[in-house]
Amino acid sequence: MDDAEVSRRTVITAGAWSVPVIALALATPLAAASTGGGTLFVTGNAFGGAGIFLSGSNYNGFDANQTYAVGEIVLTFVLPEGVVFAVDAPGGWVVSVTDNIVSISNGVALPPNETGDLGTFSITGDFPQGSTYTVSSAPAQLNVEYVGNVGGGVFE
């Protein structure tokens, strides 16, 4: 075969590699368009023998380009297993508990402006001092800033 000829295997291989590249190119503008924005400030502390306490948390949506629909913003706390706990949330938040996982989501739509204080939220229980927990948030385009030691880690 001379340099001008292209084998069937070369064409199939090139085609197989081009499909993911085309898919990525098509998906990228959609992902870039869903930038949402806004910042959720989660303020509080976690104490061994007591629990996790949020107060003074707020949403600053002045740089947001969308309203977050009810249930779209979710904070998920994965707590140490085997600890009995109680959850107390303000009226503007919806709570879901499954085993040692507590999720809170916005019970009201959050438009592109400042919400002010979102109210106090607590997960109380006899969590051993030094035990660990994690916190995650969604959606990815929302900026979440943790103030205090409430962003996951160790019960002090």
* pLDDT, tens digit (0-9, with 9 covering 90-100), for 8-52: 444 444 444 333 333 333 333 333 344 588 999 999 999 999 999
Sign of CA dihedral 7, 10, 15, 18: negative
Q: Is residue 106 predicted with pLDDT exceeding 70?
A: yes
Q: What percent of the chain has pLDDT over 70?
A: 78
The Cβ of residue 154 has, within 10 Å, a number of other Cβ atoms equal to 13
Q: Which two tokens stand for residue 135?
A: 């916190």
pLDDT of residue 25: 35
Q: What is the mean pLDDT of residues 69-79?
A: 95
The conformational region for residue 153 under phi > 0 = left, psi -120 to 50 = alpha, else beta, is left
pLDDT of residue 69: 93
User: Which among 62, 71, 40, 51 has a CA at the least distance from the CA of 146?
Assistant: 40
Q: What is the 3-state secondary structure of 57-78?
A: CEEECCCCCCCECCCCCEEEEE
pTM of the model: 0.75
pLDDT of residue 94: 92
Q: What is the mean pLDDT of residues 143-149?
A: 93
**DSSP designation for 138:** E
